[in-house]
A and B are shown apart, each in its own frame.
Chain A
Amino acid sequence: MEHLTILENKSIFIIREAYYRFKDIAMLWSVGKDSTTLLWLCRKAFFGQIPFPVIHIDTTYKFPEMYRFRDEYAKKWGLNLIVGRNEGQIEAAMGPGKGSKLDCCNELKTNALKETIGKYGLKALLLGIRRDEHGIRAKERVFSPRDENFKWDYENQPAELWDQYKSTAAEDNHFRVHPILHMTELDIWRYIKRENIPMSELYFSKEGKRYRSIGCAPCCSPIESNASSVDEIISELETSNTSERSGRAQDKEDAYTMQKLRSLGYM
């Protein structure tokens, strides 16, 4: 069986298991390539009609292209789209210029998601994370329980054997389910090519630059690249050797350090 078909089957199996176990489930769609691929796989798993809501957490800082893409395909694919926003903080003008970037992410992403989960009483979320994205992901399970503070207790995760996933326990607030955990960045692009999945134009080179990952406009910077088609992106990935998020890693450590120092009255 073809490599991509093996990956697809695995993802679809997981999506169907998740839906069987949780009827109060939704999928998180950031409009980026990974979650759009996940969305595509969900459509395949349910023969075109996704039986649960698709959530877009809107910080109001996304690229205009992303909003357009979201609305176009939400309509085309008949999605039950929920837009989750932390209205209080948006009104209070929270943004990357105010407070730290970490605060901004916390309020506009994490807390917006918490609110949305609470509001719709969701018990599980499908997420498009990949194991090769980041070191800590190597420890992720396919079905990953979270407590009410979103804490992921990765030291004490339940075992996950073969394709038997843990899916019930009273003390867990909700489950994160990761149907594309086993795919790499390259797998994603090869699958996008094979399936002809529509992707945001931001990924394709304009004037020598393109985005390798997309999110909020103020916090994303494009890479130098002439890849203006899926094929060119694949060949760029096959030969290149820099990280998708390399620039973001140091930022992350610094953000942690700042937060720590601030909590002790420095800075």
Chain B
Amino acid sequence: MEERSLHIVIVGHVDHGKSTLVGRLIYDTGSLPPEKLEEIRKASELQGRELEFAYIMDNLEEERKKGITIDIAHTFFMTKKRRYVIIDAPGHKEFLKNMISGTSQAEAALLLIDISQGIQEQTRRHCYILSLLGVRQIAVLVNKMDLAGYREESFNEIRNEIEILLKGLKIIPSYIIPVSASKGENVALRSEKLTWYKGPTILEALDNFDTLKIEDKGLRFAVQDLYTVVGEPVAVGRVEAGVLRKGQDVFVLPEKRKARITKIKKYLEEDMPFAATGDCVGIRIEGPGLKRGQILSDKILSTITDTIHANIFWMVDKEYRLGTPIIFRCATQEVKGSIRKILKRFDPASIEVVEHNATTIKPAEVAEVEIGLEAMVTVDNFFEVPELGRFVLEHAGYPVAGGIIV
């Protein structure tokens, strides 16, 4: 079994069966301790009903409230391949900020659509957020197939709609799976009622997803701070991509100066010959002093610019007016600037452009913008180096928007 767990988020309209699906995943993977299951079964019986899967979720929620802590089940479940963590991402429109915060931590997403309800406003909004957060591993689950008599035609109809919707967002879903979460069809076990469907079940789809691999990219090391350790200057930072090696010659960006890595250190450990992607280390260099925000790179593959062209989503209740100062934050870089042009703004629920060459961005809207910065920054395509391809805009101390560079 893989040691790392995969963080997933389940999104979709609030009534499209999220609790039921989570309950089902936990149940079907045997991630629920037997005595817990028995307890829930008894409670259901007492209330004169069959074991309802949504109730597993509710019950676990309640338990979690009470502080039962061992990391069985709850929002964890396990397959033979690995552990999964389901990130809390509330569906309500009012919780957009929280939904975005949760989804930004996910490596893969399950998008639920109730076949009897079809694509709803919230579904569209969530798809948009997935696309703008750069979540690329997505399985669409067409739920409640039992209510549609497991008919292939019904599924095909909605599948076409979904494909059109996602295509507009440049998302290619990894899978579109007909399921019934409440009946357990195509969740862990292949459905015998959906024999016309040849693709993977939900669990198979999840196990096919990958944890993001960025080790084999070129080096990006983001300088976080400068310390003095036993009288010597040490720069601390994180390897955002590739591998940082002792003795390596690097460019200091955005200035494009050269430097050599002479030491890589973690406290209480031997000096390191290299640091891998994700490592937070201290380094010493030969060359001029470093400062926060600089990026060390073995080759200059990144874009060095003071103009960012990106799609952003506006997360706060106050609208943005062209020219209002913002701070651009990407990795450890922070630069003042403002949005110079709002090329388009849209309502993600309708996916229609509301306005070209706009002067404002309204709450919960998405916009294609050009951001002008007061200094050069080092950025990458999100899909090359995620950490240098995503950014947050801050105004008056608050994060107001996020975006990715593609």
Contact = CB atoms under 8 A, between A and B. Distances in A.
B236 A16 contact: yes
Contacts of A44: 266-268
Contacts of A13: 224, 238, 280
B292 A20 contact: yes
A4 B151 CA distance: 47
A164 B61 contact: no
A193 interface: no
Contacts of A184: 69, 71
A170 B399 contact: no
Given A47-B265, A161-B392, A244 B88 contact: no
B33 A16 contact: no
B69 A244 contact: yes
A98 interface: no
A127 to B, nearest CB: 17
B397 A170 contact: yes
A166 B398 contact: yes
B286 to A, nearest CB: 20
A100 to B, nearest CB: 20
B267 A47 contact: yes
Interface stretch (B96-104, B180-188, B190-198, B318-326): B96-104
Contact of B224 (A3, A17, A160, A243): A17
B133 to A, nearest CB: 8
Contacts of A17: 224
The listed residue with most B CB atoms (<10 A of its CB), out of A164, A184, A242, A249, is: A164
A24 interface: no
Interface residues of B, number: 56
A47 B227 contact: yes
A241 B238 CA distance: 37
Interface in A141-191: 141, 157-164, 166-170, 184-186
Contact of B72 (A9, A164, A241): A241
Interface stretch (A86-94, A131-139, A216-224): A131-139
A88 B236 CA distance: 43
Given A1-B278, A16-B224, A168-B397, A162 B104 contact: yes
A105 interface: no
Contacts of B61: 135
Interface string B384-403: 00010011101011110010
A134 B227 CA distance: 36
A249 B62 CA distance: 11
Interface residues of A, number: 54
Contact of B97 (A49, A135, A158, A244): A158
A241 B90 CA distance: 28
A69 interface: no
A246 interface: yes
A265 B397 CA distance: 44
A67 interface: no
A118 interface: no
Contacts of A167: 397
A136 B67 CA distance: 9
Contacts of B391: 164
Given A1-B276, A2-B3, A166-B398, A245 B67 contact: yes
B146 interface: no
A6 interface: yes
A138 B397 contact: no
A159 B399 contact: yes
A5 B280 CA distance: 10
Given A16-B236, A159-B100, A159-B101, A166 B67 contact: no
A135 B227 contact: no
B229 interface: yes
Given A12-B280, A20-B292, A241 B397 contact: no
A158 B399 contact: yes
A237 interface: yes
Contacts of B227: 46-47
B315 interface: yes
A65 B343 CA distance: 65
B101 A3 contact: no
A161 B225 CA distance: 21
- Chain B CB within 10 A, most for which of A46, A157, A161: A161
A129 B386 CA distance: 28
Across the A-B interface, the 7 shortest Cβ-Cβ residue pairs = A135-B65, A169-B397, A168-B397, A135-B64, A164-B392, A243-B68, A249-B66
Interface of B: 3-4, 33, 35-36, 61, 64-72, 74-75, 88, 97-98, 100-101, 104-105, 133, 224-225, 227, 229-230, 234, 236, 238, 265-268, 276-280, 282, 292, 315, 329, 387, 390-392, 394, 396-399, 402
11 contacts: A5-B279, A9-B279, A16-B225, A135-B61, A157-B97, A159-B98, A159-B315, A166-B399, A186-B70, A241-B36, A243-B67
Interface of A: 1-3, 5-6, 9, 12-13, 16-17, 19-20, 43-49, 132-136, 138-139, 141, 157-164, 166-170, 184-186, 237, 240-246, 248-250
